[in-house]
Structures are given as structure tokens and as C-alpha cells.
Structure 1
Amino acid sequence: MNEICAGRIVIVTGAGRGLGRAHALELARQGARVVVNDLGAGLDGAGRSTGPAHEVVEAIRAMGGEAVANGDDVADFGGARRLVQQAIDTFGGLDALVNNAGFLRDRMLVNTSEEEWDAVVRVHLKGHFAPLRHAAAYWRAESKAGRARRARVINTSSGAGLQGSLGQATYSAAKAGIAALTLVAAEELARYGVTVNALAPSARTRMTEGAFAEKMAVPDSGFDAMAPDNVSPVVAWLASEDSADVTGRVIEVEGGRICVEDGWRHGPAVDLGRRWAAADVGAAVRDLIRKSPAPEPVYGAG
């Protein structure tokens, strides 16, 4: 079988469980050498354990692959730097970064505390920025030295970040930020041969089973559309050299369905050619809204 990531060196964050674990295993099946990063924290981000990351490493080694564990906090700038350096020191470089780590502190907006907001934004948004920042610095240096790598970044957004989700204002805001970060990084890093894309995965994990219990139920028979490993082949392809012509995209994956998100686009407009009078704005905006498609409903809306 053709291993589309043969010899590639890949970091996967939050790889001890759920989607990250599935990604790490699939990448290894496709021939990648994997740095398995995971804090081993609980669903709410509390606690630490080296167990989950090491279990995934052992599973990869048992199938004949190469992997090492990393327990750094990806939202800590120094920890993210150490993570990237570990890949370079252990395997001799870095070809792809899969940003997947995250946790939930779901709450209706009026009940969300400052601590909950800061914690979720930190692990999701800063936890994407920090590893990406250090990986990008390495790839830029390699490119300037005449050793440009065919590098890839796969971020993890969410339908919550694209359409919104009731009770998940903080998570939705962080995931929307990741989608925007993906667009900017794709443009800035293209000169170094780096592509940057994001996934919006739907799968049964610790983070989703409470919010979407009915959808997450295992079917009695047939194809399990919500199994995490359904998403991972898309990750493996995006991490491969073959995906060089795809960048700046957000791709939704659920079961066997792949959807390229359309994202924010300029819609109908009107230019008065002079300063608007406040009393005239309402009619103009309502006319433009009538010419525009209705937004997709927020997840969980009645």
C-alpha cells in the first residue's frame, strides 16, 4: 500500500485521546514519524498525566512505526518551542504540524466567568498560535538556508466557530479565531513553501458526547459516521506532499462527507458616494439583507 506520508515528520497536539489519537495513528500508518503531544488533562483542562501520550506512542511502535511522546503545554510559548525542537532533535526536522489540542468549559454567555473565557481562549487559540509560531520560524530559517521543506499545517476549527453554537460562546469565538488565523498564516507562509488549512470535524469524542448526545450515539449496525478515525485520512492527506495546491481552506469532515466551507465573502453593497444620514441607514441595510442569503442557523437554535 502506498504510504502517502512516508518519511514525513509530524507533530500532533492533543494526541492522547479522541481525534488527536486517531490522527496520530493514521499518520503513522501512512509512514509518518510522529511526535505525540498531550498533557493528559481532563475534559475541563484540569490535571496532567503522561499516560495517554505514551499509550499512543506504544500503539504506533507496535505497528512498526516511529513516535515519541511530549507532555508540554502547547499554550505556553516556551513549551510550544520545546515541542517543535523535540521533533527537530529527535527526527531531524519537521514537515507538518497538526494543531488539535483543546478542552471545553461550556456555559451560556451570561453565566460565563472571566476565568472560563481566558482558559478556553488560551488553550484553543493561543494553543494554535504558539506551536505555529515556532514551526513557522523553523521553516522560514530552512527556506532562507536553501533547504525549504514542503511543510504543512492542519489547524482544528469547528462548526461552532463557523456557524456558532448555543451555550458555547467562548469555544465558538476561539474556533472562529482559528479559522481567521488559518487564512492569514496561509498567505504569510506561502513564500516558504508552507500550506495552512483547517478542519471543522464532527466526531464522537469527550468534547462532543455531552453536547450532541443523540447525534453521537453509536448505530446498531453499519457505518459509524461519528467515529473519530473517519476524519484522520483527510488530516493525513493534508499533511502529505500531495496537498501542495490546497491552502487557506477550512474543510468540514463528518463520516464520509467532506465539505469545503465558503466562509465570509463580500455580499451585496450600496455606495452613496457621501456620508450617510443615520435615519437613512435602516432602509439601505434592510434592502441589502433582502438581497442576501439567510445565514445558516446557529447550532442548537430552535
Structure 2
Amino acid sequence: MTDSADIARLIISCPDQPGIVAAVSQTIADLGGNIITLDQYSTDPEGGQFFQRTVFHLPGLAAARPQVERAIQEQLADRFRMEWSLHDTSRPKRVAIFASKTDHCLLDLLWRHRRGELPMDIAMVVSNHPDLAEDVRTFGIPFFHVPATPGTKEEAEAKHLELLEGNVDLVVLARYMQILSPRFLEKVGAPVINIHHSFLPAFIGAGPYQKAKDRGVKLIGATAHYVTEDLDEGPIIEQDVIRVSHADDVAQLTRYGADVERAVLSRAVKWHCEDRVLRHGSTTIVF
């Protein structure tokens, strides 16, 4: 059986031109690697940007990694003006989850992680309320309560950065009801994924499901995206919708919304942790 410690993912991005796929394949073959899967996309074959995710098996990967990285840089990156990253699949990404009082997205991620459905290590759960502490600890995950009010926001984010620095590869906002400051996003040193309902901007603010009911919506959806300084405008990773009826009351609409939020967030987190999401300006390529 193939050892997961000997499987790597190579993620590349560069200006498109002929010969990229052939060169990547040849470099991996020369190193003794065997390609398992390969996904690619070009925004335009003439002057566009090229993206590729290559999963390959290489016996003794850990020992050979310096040689692999040197070959990628010298034979590929320098030649094709390539941005690249190499990921060892035996080293899952370390993830911090932020939540407030609402538990459906948080507990869904914890449950899927416990079942082995999400390839990540959960380093901690951080919340601005203590309500979910016992639920989280039943999963054996460290829980940190960091109160955050308008008057203590700067102090809270300083504590967050202290907890996260050098410890995580990804931050997930599982219905964390606080706006992250530009300073925090600059200092955190890891991507941040958020989930929210897809009523924006039609039903912004408090009580969106009541507002949606009052307008007779027929679809309820959710959006998972990367967090940027522009509120709720970061590159979208995943979206989904379900149909609803005029007969559904606000409570049922809310339950439908929770269901779709769980599914969308878990898919976005899984894809990110599998290095399937490549950012390109304000959009994403998802392999």
C-alpha cells in the first residue's frame, strides 16, 4: 500500500505558454515520481494565467524534499516565471476555528473531523462567548474564550494573534459574529475562510430570515469565501442553494439555512485543506 508520507501536491501558477505540463511531468519523472492526478486550467491560452495541481508519489519524499524543491525552482519556476508550493499530504493543515454562540457550523466541522472526513488537525476553537466550551471539549479540542466588545476589540485581536502565531495554517470563521480588522488580517499569517447566508445584499443586517420570509423568497443559500479587508467581498470558494416554499415559517427557513451553511463550509474547508483552491485576484480556481 502507498504510504501517504510519500505523496505530495505541487501547486503552480504562471503565465500560460506551451510546454508547461510536459515540463512539470518530466521534472517529476526525472526525480523518480509517479503522477497520480493532474488538474489544470488556463484563463486564456494566449496571454492568460495557467494553474495546475499535481499529486504525485515519490518514495522517500521526506528525505528527497530538498532535491525536489531545488529541481522545481531551477527547472520550472525560473523558466516559466512560476509561483509554486509543495505540500506533503502526510502533514495535515493545522486549523483554528472561531465561533460565537451559534453552534451548527462549528459542531459540524468537529464531527466531520472526528469521523476522518476533513484532512486537517484542529489546533483550537476560539470564541467571544463561553457558551460552547463544554461542547467543544467533548471532542478533545482546546477551547479559548476571548471576550470581544467594541471597547476591547484591539485587546481581543492581540490575544487572538498570540494564540495563532506560528500555530495554524488556516482560520475558519464558523459563524463568528465579529468583524476582523485589517490589522488582524495583515498579521495573522494564514488564510481566513468565512461562511454566511447568501441573502446579501438584499437582506443585510439583523433578522435576515424574517426579512426573507416577508419578501417571499424561493431560494435559500450560503457562501463560503476568503476574508479580505472588504467585508464579505473576498474570493468565493463554494456556494449552494435549496428551494423553499411560501408555507415555510421563519424557524423552518432558519433550519434550511443552517443545513446549507454546514454543507458549504465543510466543502470549502475540505477543498482548501486538500490544496484544491487557487486564488486569482478576486476569484478562485477550484480543482
TM-score clears 0.5: no
Structure having the larger proportion of residues in strand: 2
TM-score range, shorter chain: 0.3 to 0.5
- Provide TM-score, normalisation by structure 2: 0.45
Bigger relative CO (Cα 8 Å, ≥ 6 apart): 1
